[in-house]
A and B are shown apart, each in its own frame.
Chain A
């Protein structure tokens, strides 16, 4: 799962050289063997790839921005990965509230946080029924925007998102 994600990210970043990855432990933590020794963990590897691609803006442009990006990356690996059905509801609910007035997770521009969160949330969003997608309308809007973001989707299937609200009265 994480490995597919990493290769999609490589393609997205436009890296010519494709790295070889292995996993470690029961949680299948990705490992990258680099010239400076092994790199362990999704966020570490991803930050490395971003630097390789010379796209530092994806990690944030100011101190606050970097902190924000970092915060959502942390959220992705600690809250989203391996969450139960119940936890997923909380994640979607919180995120829906947070995204109410935002286009991207960290303010007004695309960052690595959006990419990794999109990859991480995909399995949750795929399972949502139409009325649930409408219920988490801000998440759905953000998700739909990201799945159409140039060269990001790659290994993932597209999710159908209705443009019109069909559950106006709120009950179904």
Chain B
């Protein structure tokens, strides 16, 4: 035997030993695998055999309008004890699901309403169906067939407290992804409550980044229903007062209130601006004998201010009307419109107001009839009495504005008032000067909870004076020629004002940030979604 052979044989031996072990292991593995597969197969067979309700649940085929089902879908808000023991269909989102042994509780949500649903193992539902129900991702949309049953104890967590649904069929119409960018519970937690319990709250940027989901919270639903209400009441009231709704262009050739805060857009070979207000157009309509006009539409401000109450695009509610002898006719008309809106909200949107105040508590909005009207000098006097130092013709700073609101509330118990006769120097060029004191003007602001919502004035309807004022403000006459010319052929005395829809909603509800009342807010830092 040579040395090499010896070495070879030992090598072989070790190899075979290793090989044996390997083989053994592999065999074991294979056996285990086979066992597993057999078990799985058996299980599957078992499920298939046991599952007597497999036609009553599942993921439905994509709705591509293949069929017109003659099936009435009941709305969640209509689920009342009167309908008890009926078998109904409904479509809703899975708000939460909670499995508990042989039962699975679902909270089904439709807009701001929700109801509890129960899938329980029994004659109708199999174990597998309960498991399926428990595993539906939150926010998925489901079609459910169920029997409505009265419950002994009120279900505190739902809006439909006296009934629950006993589910017989459940199909997923649209499946949500398992991971949501934010949880609806976190987004609807009342202010401050999360901090105390150490539970999560969602900050505003996250909300706005995922606005589609944030808008599903009951609070958002209520806010924007109320906002629609403001528009509706505005139109309703003014239409009753014989106003005509007009549409004005938003791409304009000249800035109405000085060029500093307008967006410039390229317009073929030249440039144009986005309208800061429909000011000039509503005035031209007055000159064109429309007498009383209003318009609802977007307004743009290129102010680079990142505050709680500024947006770069918002919805303006604008009013302009001709009056007979005194511009207070205009003030009275506008304040009455506002009061009608407040009353309408109070009487017709109580549910929405309550819903919002659950998450953002605030005192109910107060107003007087007729609306309180203070002169600017009175306002300044009140501020001075409170220790604020300011000049007679200084504009109100935001903190002073808020303080004055507080002082007025304390003295007159109203959240809504008009401040009349502003200093002429702080108003735009088309503002009519006060005949008795040329330092003041026939202009006014309206305030809600101490914040400005409307700015308005009697306008100069005399082309001569208007030209003078424009020169005084160093405005290029060439650019506003069309505007001034419209007053040359007989122009009635007129006045008006513009309201910010988002601000009205924010302040009426006592919210702290305008982004909460803008569906897709635009500010210097946000252009999406």
CB within 8 Å of B: which residues of A?
Answer: 129-131, 159-162, 164-167, 169, 171-172
> In whole angstroms, how far apart are the Cα atoms of A159 and B512 in the complex?
30
> In whole angstroms, how far apart are the Cα atoms of A160 and B385 in the complex?
8
A76 CB to nearest chain B CB (Å): 25
Instruction: Report the nearest A residue to B409, measured CB to CB.
Output: A166
> In whole angstroms, how far apart are the Cα atoms of A143 and B406 in the complex?
23
A159 touches B387 (CB 8 A): yes
Chain B residues closer than 8 Å to A169, beta-carbon distance = 362-363
Interface size class, chain B:
10 to 19
Known contacts being A166-B409, A166-B410, A169-B363, is A160 close to B402, with CB within 8 Å?
A: no
Chain A residues closer than 8 Å to B470, beta-carbon distance = none
Chain A residues closer than 8 Å to B409, beta-carbon distance = 166
A120 CB to nearest chain B CB (Å): 20
B362 touches A172 (CB 8 A): no
> In whole angstroms, how far apart are the Cα atoms of A24 and B385 in the complex?
41
> Which of B363, B387, B410 is in CB contact (< 8 Å) with A164?
B410
- Interface bits B401-413 vs A (CB < 8 Å: 1, else 0): 0110011011000
Chain A contact surface mostly: loop
Chain B residues closer than 8 Å to A164, beta-carbon distance = 410
Query: Can you add 11 more A-B contacts, CB < 8 Å, to A129-B403, A162-B386?
Result: A130-B386, A130-B387, A130-B403, A131-B403, A131-B406, A159-B387, A161-B387, A165-B410, A166-B406, A167-B406, A172-B402
B407 touches A166 (CB 8 A): yes
Chain A residues closer than 8 Å to B410, beta-carbon distance = 164-166
> In whole angstroms, how far apart are the Cα atoms of A167 and B385 in the complex?
16
A144 CB to nearest chain B CB (Å): 12
B407 CB to nearest chain A CB (Å): 6
CB within 8 Å of A: which residues of B?
Answer: 362-363, 385-388, 399, 402-403, 406-407, 409-410, 512
A129 touches B399 (CB 8 A): yes
B163 CB to nearest chain A CB (Å): 38
> In whole angstroms, how far apart are the Cα atoms of A171 and B388 in the complex?
20
Chain B residues closer than 8 Å to A129, beta-carbon distance = 399, 403
Chain B residues closer than 8 Å to A159, beta-carbon distance = 387
> In whole angstroms, how far apart are the Cα atoms of A36 and B388 in the complex?
49
B506 CB to nearest chain A CB (Å): 14
Chain B residues closer than 8 Å to A160, beta-carbon distance = 385-387
> In whole angstroms, how far apart are the Cα atoms of A102 and B363 in the complex?
32
Chain A residues closer than 8 Å to B385, beta-carbon distance = 160
In the complex, which of the residues B388, B406, B407, B512 has the most CB atoms of chain A within 10 Å of its own CB atom? B406
B406 touches A172 (CB 8 A): yes
A157 CB to nearest chain B CB (Å): 11
Chain A residues closer than 8 Å to B399, beta-carbon distance = 129
> In whole angstroms, how far apart are the Cα atoms of A161 and B386 in the complex?
7
Chain B residues closer than 8 Å to A171, beta-carbon distance = 512
A133 CB to nearest chain B CB (Å): 8
Instruction: Report the nearest B residue to A172, measured CB to CB.
Output: B402
Instruction: Report the nearest B residue to A164, measured CB to CB.
Output: B410
Instruction: Report the nearest B residue to A162, measured CB to CB.
Output: B386
* 10 A-B pairs with C-beta separation under 8 A: A129-B399, A130-B386, A130-B387, A160-B387, A161-B387, A164-B410, A166-B403, A166-B409, A167-B406, A172-B402
> In whole angstroms, how far apart are the Cα atoms of A172 and B512 in the complex?
10
Chain B residues closer than 8 Å to A131, beta-carbon distance = 403, 406
> In whole angstroms, how far apart are the Cα atoms of A169 and B512 in the complex?
14
Chain B residues closer than 8 Å to A166, beta-carbon distance = 403, 406-407, 409-410
B380 CB to nearest chain A CB (Å): 15
> In whole angstroms, how far apart are the Cα atoms of A159 and B399 in the complex?
19
Chain A residues closer than 8 Å to B362, beta-carbon distance = 169
Give 3 closest A-B pairs by Cβ, nearest first.
A160-B387, A166-B406, A166-B410
> In whole angstroms, how far apart are the Cα atoms of A171 and B363 in the complex?
11
> In whole angstroms, how far apart are the Cα atoms of A109 and B195 in the complex?
43
Instruction: Report the nearest A residue to B399, measured CB to CB.
Output: A129
> In whole angstroms, how far apart are the Cα atoms of A164 and B410 in the complex?
8
> In whole angstroms, how far apart are the Cα atoms of A164 and B399 in the complex?
19
B29 CB to nearest chain A CB (Å): 68
Instruction: Report the nearest B residue to A171, measured CB to CB.
Output: B512
A124 CB to nearest chain B CB (Å): 15
Instruction: Report the nearest A residue to B383, measured CB to CB.
Output: A130
> In whole angstroms, how far apart are the Cα atoms of A165 and B409 in the complex?
11
Chain A residues closer than 8 Å to B387, beta-carbon distance = 130, 159-162
In the complex, which of the residues A161, A165, A171 has the most CB atoms of chain B within 10 Å of its own CB atom? A171
Chain B residues closer than 8 Å to A167, beta-carbon distance = 406
> In whole angstroms, how far apart are the Cα atoms of A167 and B176 in the complex?
46
> In whole angstroms, how far apart are the Cα atoms of A162 and B382 in the complex?
11
